[in-house]
Structure 1
């Protein structure tokens, strides 16, 4: 299964970025092989629509779940429509967050943050 993690850096040892649409990078982890594909988020610095663009990228990549800190309403709509589960990760490495998901230790995210929340740094 493919899992997306929002990331501050470009390795599996990087810390999870609490923002989804404006994360610097996305790590797509394959839970069967435990290999990571790191993607620079081209929408991170856009004036608007970062959440939608980022969510659509996850749909296009065939992701089944996202681990992040917060998700805005537009991204949430795209992800939910595509039946992609969203989990709240913590400020630890991507590998550690993936391990927590595999152990059932991450909560699902069912609520969004306000629009444009990530533009102010997105820290909750």
Structure 2
């Protein structure tokens, strides 16, 4: 299974990015091998609009089954849910800590979006 974490940096010791659509990077971790692929989300960080939907599509295209982030808006949440991606929000601390908490079963799936859409 592949897990996507919104990240402010390029390694597991980077802080979780509290923004989904405008996260600086995504770390895609294979839950078995723990191999990591880093994806720069720069195109969506500065997008005038649609960042959440575009980022959700990237996560889906990379084959993630789970996304761990701070917050996610309603449009991105809808796209992820429709594609069967488990969305976990409220993550804080480092990516390493969040990944460990996920493996330990300490993180729960979101029941809906946690932020409002941005205008523009």
Unaligned runs of 5+ in 2: none
Q: Which residue of 2 aligns with 1:32?
A: 32
User: Normalising by structure 2, what TM-score?
Assistant: 0.93
Task: Find the residue that maps to 2:6 and give its secondary structure.
Answer: strand
Unaligned runs of 5+ in 1: 120-124
Task: Find the residue that maps to 2:44 and give its secondary structure.
Answer: coil
Alignment of 1:42-121 (within 5 A): 42-112=43-113, 113-116=115-118
Paired residues in the alignment total: 118
User: Normalising by structure 1, what TM-score?
Assistant: 0.90
> Is the CA contact 1:89–1:97 (under 8 Å) kept in the aligned structure 2?
no
Q: Which residue of 1 aligns with 2:7?
A: 7
> Is the CA contact 2:72–2:89 (under 8 Å) kept in the aligned structure 1?
no
CA RMSD in angstroms, aligned pairs only: 1.5
The Cα shift of 1:12 comes to: 1.5
